Structure 1
Amino acid sequence: MKGEIEGITDDGIGVRVIDKNGFEHKIEMLFDGEIVYHHQKGYPDNPKERTNEEDESVAQARRFARYHVYREKGYDTVPNPDNPDRIAAVLLALIGLDDQQFDQYFGMLYEQMASHERADVAPVLDLPQEVYSEEFIVYKQNVYLEESLDAMQDQLTQPATEVFGEENLQEFLQETGDGLVAKARSLVGGGTDEDEDASEEPSIPEADLSIADVSGLDTMYSTPEGYKTIEGEDPVSREPDARIETLPMGYTREQFRYHVGHNLICQIRDCFISMGVEPPAQYRLLGHGKFKYSAKYRDFDFYPDYWDYEANIPGYSSPV
């Protein structure tokens, strides 16, 4: 995918995109990312006449155009939960939490998720019994940062997705509990107990990002008529900076913290793939990220099975 900004007026931005099939797209959008014009000759104009792969190619070009404008000009043109830099910023905020703080925000999600498979954990949601009888359930929780996008960009010397390198991201994944916090502090400039070891650690620019709030839990489940969602309470009336999505799992609390980080990394992967772009090497990890993309990976044969821990995809690794 290649992008070129062709013009900026008082009304918006014009972008030229060459998609991965070599077709040209002329796209115009407002400063909030709303696309008001899209012309291309590579695929049928009527979405009903396109194959799934053709329709996805058109959608990828639109997502890439928004991302290109955001990265090149700084306009907030990408929907919050689909912006990989926002998700990476949430990941940065999470690694600074000690276990008690982490449980304060995400303990309810853990207990509901683990209650399906652990007799020692009670569910926190009063869901209809038929929901528990369904074969497929996804729990979702919105995460909101204190900082605006401008504040995030001001604090970091590079885009948030580039803050993590392949080595230090793997080190984060290998740490759990308060050990994760100690590792995080050493990497963001807080020092270590052994000064001689500190110089050998991969470095991450210092960031003071913090969680403002989290939502209650949304419960999405399958029925013969399709997917339905029971929405939880949400105290914030804006798009979240990230949305954790998890299947029921019988993890310990320590394992769950790792799982949340892994889910966010896979979501960053999904953001790039959904734009027709190969993710940076540190985000080429297998597993569940965003449900809507995991479903596409399963249903469309033109996508590899990125959601599958056991998939054999060159350049991608499994965390288990």
Structure 2
Amino acid sequence: MKANIQAQTDNGIVVRVVDNADIEHRVEIDGTGEIASHQCSAYAGEERARSPRENQHVDQVNRYSKYYVDRKRGLNTLRPYSKTDRITHPERLAAATLIIGAMSPETLKSHFGACYRQIASAYADVEPPVSPPDREPDADCHRVQQDVYLALNDDQWRLLGDVLVELDGLAALATALDREPNRNDDDLFDRLEAALPGEPDGYEGDAAGDDSENRFLRGLSPLRVHWQAAEGKRVTYGGGSDPGAESAPDARLQMTVQNDRIETVQSFQRHLIHHLRCQVRDCYVGMGFSPPKGVRVRGTGIDAFTDKYEHHDGYQRYHDPDAIIDWTRQAPAQHPDW
């Protein structure tokens, strides 16, 4: 998968992309960040006339085109977790993973306590913050979703994300959580602040005097809980305000309640970091790349891709913790600035 910008006008940007089958595409992205046209002489123009593998290539080309333009021109063309793009910015996601992973258990519980209690209630005597729908009181909690918004400026999240992805920092983070689950986070956030240029975007100081993760975490959305009932899936929402209603989330937790028991904050944090690493993996797979080494992990990540891995022959079973994965099947990840 290779790309280059051929033209840029007031109406949009034209990108030339060569996909993993060595087929050339011409993609035009309009001023709103949407695909205005997609031309490829080797594939049929209509989705229904293409093979599943050809549709997979087209989807990957569209996603990578938007990501490429976003990184090269800073035009916010990628729509995180949208129905069309599915993926999000892998660098923003990696930065969110680091900040969440750097939190002490006490700090994590103060921010993600509602999500933790909702999931832990399936395994332990914990009162969930969101109850089943009134008409389905015996419904099972299937998935818990929550948006995460960072207080990082563009230079900060790009630097953090690039370093984490290129240097396998997320794998090291997971190892650190296993070795020292009860660490203090003050020094970690002091070092993080010293390493990042400029002031965080959206952080105005904390009147309570807490000078740690609040420098980098702008806020969280209310919980969105998916219930599995006899008649199908139900969805209900928790209360509270959404701090990012006017902007896209940097990460969206989509944690599935599985057989792995989450009974402590420490185990919840380890599962949360693994889940986010799986999401970073999905971002690269969704653009047609083999994921970097630090995110070559198996498990559920972005919900839309879990469904593809289960039902689409063109993808490996990345969501299956017992699957055998050929991590070299697709081309190595290419940074737009390389």
TM-score of the pair, normalised by structure 2: 0.78
Which amino acid is 1:11 matched to? Answer: N
Shift of 1:293: 0.5
Determine if the alignment matches structure 1 residue 34 to structure 2 residue 40.
no
Aligned residue for 1:50? 50
Moved more, 52-61 or 173-182: 173-182
Look up the match of 2:151.
Answer: 146
**What is the aligned partner in structure 1 of residue 208 from structure 2?**
none
Q: Which residue of 2 aligns with 1:177?
A: 181
Question: Aligned ranges for residues 48-197 of structure 1 at < 5 Å?
Answer: 48-81=48-81, 82-118=88-124, 120-128=125-133, 133=138, 137-153=142-158, 156=160, 158=162, 161-162=165-166, 164-165=168-169, 168-179=172-183, 181=185, 184=188
Cα contact 2:94–2:280 (8 A) shared by 1: yes
How far apart are the structure 1 equivalents of 2:225 and 2:17?
37
In structure 1, what is the equivalent of residue 336 of structure 2?
none
Q: Which moved more, 1:230-239 or 1:8-17?
A: 230-239
Aligned to 2:226: 220
Distance 1:8 1:50, change over 3 A: same
CA deviation map 1:263-295 (0-9, x unaligned): 111100000001111111111111111111011
* 1:212 to partner: Cα distance: 1.0
Shift of 1:32: 4.7
Aligned mates of 2:166, 2:133 — CA distance in 1: 43
Q: Give the structure 2 partner of residue 245 of structure 1.
A: 254
The offset of 1:99, in angstroms, is: 2.1
8 Å contact 2:133–2:234 — kept in the other structure?
A: no
Gaps of 5+ in 1: 191-204
Opposite residue 127 of structure 1, the aligned amino acid is P
Tell me how many residue pairs correspond in the alignment: 300
| 5+ long unaligned stretches in structure 2 | 82-87, 201-214, 329-338
**SS of 2:223's equivalent?**
strand
Contact 1:176 1:258 in 2 (8 A): no
How far apart are the structure 2 equivalents of 1:145 and 1:68? 22
Q: TM-score, normalised on structure 1?
A: 0.82
